[in-house]
């Protein structure tokens, strides 16, 4: 139940100096009448700010039962009063999640000092640093990830290459593209090669990583471009007419020597040729899967091959 001038918030109190479990705080919201009314109406409308483990406050406007009936003046009163209170409590930051249809509140929050942290297709996240000095909040994504597949037919020594329809110079390159969210590197390579050329393949290893800052194709952030070695399992090309101008099985030595290619493709072709001739163990960065600590998830670890005597040297 809401008291006349006090609200029960979902915010737990900070852990006491003696280490006692934090209790949900009863936070008196005294002050100007308009602010208190605003706070009461926002809590009654479903808003339940939470604390994160760093002492930041998380607000999800999606919790509002009827966001259209909330006006910007009421929201501004609530935000001003709440920020004042969170500062007094020593909270370090506020994370404000705004569904796209409630974007009218973004301008209101900006007037109180909030800035964009990131946006997804249907929501944006704003932050306000309340701690001392410069913000220590982590930024959002710094890179996009592109993955290409060098599919080498070891029986013939030919490798699958394309010329990109949308690029100005028609240089040979390995088929590839941007990784989907949550997609493994090897799966991106296999998927992109299939989508662009119709060739089925299996992931074998990583060959190289290129990091490029201020990449024009990455909206000005950095671009990480990984080339994988793939083992093809089909050979009849049926290439994507939207993306590719040409697609061929090209002799690997010819690709390593030609000028009609990009510097990355040329260098990786030489590396692949070296592995083809001398053994792929000389060039492969292979993958192992491990359970992640705490989370119940798994991760992939990519590194050069390690002899079993080294792999198994941990004493249990
Ligand atoms: Mg592509």
As for the ipTM of the complex, it is 0.94
CB atoms within 10 A of CB 4: 6
Q: What mean pLDDT do residues 295-307 have?
A: 93
pLDDT over 90, % of the chain: 78
Decide if pLDDT at 119 tops 50.
Answer: yes
Question: 189 C-alpha vs ligand 1 centroid, how far in Å?
Answer: 10
Q: Can you tell me the mean pLDDT for 134-161?
A: 97
Output the pLDDT for position 39. Answer: 66
Distance 238 CA to ligand 1 centre (A): 15
Residue 81 lies in a domain: yes
The pTM (predicted TM-score) of the whole model is: 0.83
Q: In angstroms, what is the span from residue 23 Cα to ligand 1's centroid? A: 53
Residues 162 and 74 occupy one common structural domain? no
Question: Which CATH number covers residue 172?
Answer: 3.90.79.10
The partner residues of 133 in beta bridges, in order of sequence, read none
On whether both 166 and 229 belong to a single domain, the answer is: yes
Give 273's contacts (C-beta < 8 A, 6+ positions apart): 252, 253, 256
What pLDDT was estimated at residue 233? 98
277: phi then psi, degrees, rounded to nearest 5: -80, -40
What's the gap in Å between 61 CA and the centre of ligand 1? Answer: 38
Could you tell me if residue 36 is inside a domain?
yes
More confident site: 174 or 42: 174
What is the mean predicted confidence (pLDDT) over 13-26? 41
How far does the centroid of ligand 1 lie from the alpha carbon of residue 177, in Å?
4
Tokens of 47: 């808003």
Residue 303 has pLDDT above 70, yes or no: yes
Q: Report how far residue 282's alpha carbon sits from residue 220's, in angstroms, rounded to the nearest whole number.
A: 35
| pLDDT at residue 167 tops 90 | no
Query: Per-residue pLDDT for 8 more than 50?
Result: no
pLDDT digits (tens, 9 = 90+) for 81-110: 999 999 999 999 999 999 999 999 999 999
Range of the domain at 161: 143-282
In the chain, the N- to C-terminal Cα span, in Å, equals 55
For residue 23, the model assigns a pLDDT of 40
Write the CA distances from 269 to 7, 131, 231, 239, integer angstroms: 66, 51, 15, 21
Average pLDDT over residues 179-195: 97
Contact 86, 128 (CB under 8 A): no
Q: Which whole number is the average pLDDT over 174-201?
A: 98
296 within a domain of the structure (yes/no): no
Q: Residues 185, 256: one domain?
A: yes
Among 88, 107, 129, identify where a domain stops: 129
Half-sphere exposure of 167 (CA within 13 A, CB side): 15
Separation CA 310–CA 29 (nearest Å): 61
Average pLDDT estimate for 68-80: 93
The full DSSP string for the chain is ---SSEEEEEEEPPPPTT-PPPPEEEEE--S-HHHHHHHHHHHHTT---EE-TTSEEEEEGGG-S-GGG--HHHHHHHHHHHHHHHHHTT--EEEEEEEGGGTHHHHHHHHTT-EEEEE-SSEEEEEEE-SSSS-----S--EEEEEEEEEEETTTTEEEEEEETTSSS--EE--EEEPPTT--HHHHHHHHHHHHH---EEEEEEEEEEEESS-GGGTTSEEEEEEEEEEES-------TTTEEEEEEEEHHHHHH-SSB-HHHHHHHHHHHHHHHH-GGGT-BEEEEEEPTTTS-EEEEEES---HHHHT----
Residues 147 and 276 in one domain: yes
Q: What is the mean pLDDT of residues 260-265?
A: 96
Q: Are residues 172 and 264 in the same domain?
A: yes
d(CA 97, CA 123): 7
Q: How far is the centre of ligand 1, averaged over its atoms, from the C-alpha of 278 (Å)?
A: 30
Q: Say if residue 266 is in the same domain as residue 147.
A: yes
Same domain, 64 and 166: no
Whole-number pLDDT of residue 267: 98
The least confident of 23-37, 44-58, 218-232 is 23-37
Closest CA to 99 of 126, 127, 139, 71: 126
Average pLDDT, the chain: 88
CA 252 to centroid of ligand 1, rounded, Å: 20
Tell me if 39 sits within 8 A of 78, measured CB to CB: yes
Specify the pLDDT at position 6: 29
Catalytic residues, which ones?
195
pLDDT recorded at residue 38: 61
The structure tokens listed for 193 are 């090669």
Residues 151 and 256 occupy one common structural domain: yes
pLDDT score for 169: 79
Averaged pLDDT, 63-71 = 91
Domain count, the chain: 2
Tell me whether residue 290 is in a domain: no
Q: Give 136 Cα–ligand 1 centroid separation in angstroms.
A: 36
Share of the chain above pLDDT 70, in %: 87
The Å distance, Cα 284 to ligand 1 centre, comes to 23
């Amino acid at each position: 139940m809401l008291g006349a001038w006090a609200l029960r918030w979902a915010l737990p109190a900070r852990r006491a100096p003696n280490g006692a479990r934090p209790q949900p705080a009863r936070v008196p919201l005294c002050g100007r009448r308009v602010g208190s009314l605003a706070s009461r109406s926002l809590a009654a409308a479903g808003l339940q700010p939470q604390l994160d483990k760093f002492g930041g406050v998380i607000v999800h406007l999606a919790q509002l039962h009827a966001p259209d009936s909330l006006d910007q003046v009421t929201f501004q009163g609530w935000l001003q009063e709440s920020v004042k209170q969170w500062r007094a409590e020593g909270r370090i930051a506020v994370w404000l999640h705004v569904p796209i249809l409630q974007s009218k509140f973004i301008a209101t929050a900006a007037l109180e000092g909030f800035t964009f942290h990131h946006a997804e297709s249907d929501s944006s996240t704003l932050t306000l640093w309340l701690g001392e000095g410069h913000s220590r909040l982590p930024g959002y994504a710094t890179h996009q990830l592109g993955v290409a597949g060098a599919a080498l037919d070891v029986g013939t020594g030919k490798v699958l290459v394309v010329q990109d329809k949308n690029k100005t110079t028609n240089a040979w390159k390995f088929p590839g593209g941007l990784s989907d969210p949550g997609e493994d590197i090897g799966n991106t390579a296999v998927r992109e090669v299939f989508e662009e050329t119709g060739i089925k393949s299996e992931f074998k290893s990583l060959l190289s990583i290129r990091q490029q800052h201020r990449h024009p194709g990455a909206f000005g952030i950095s671009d990480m471009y990984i080339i994988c070695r793939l083992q093809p399992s089909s050979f009849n090309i049926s290439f994507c007419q939207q993306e590719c101008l040409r697609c061929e099985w090209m002799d690997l030595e010819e690709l390593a020597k030609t000028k009609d290619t990009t510097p990355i493709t040329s260098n990786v072709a030489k590396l692949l040729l070296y592995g083809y001739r001398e053994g792929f163990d000389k060039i492969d960065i292979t993958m192992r899967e491990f359970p992640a600590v705490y989370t119940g998830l798994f991760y992939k670890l990519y590194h050069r091959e390690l002899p079993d005597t080294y792999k198994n040297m941990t004493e249990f």
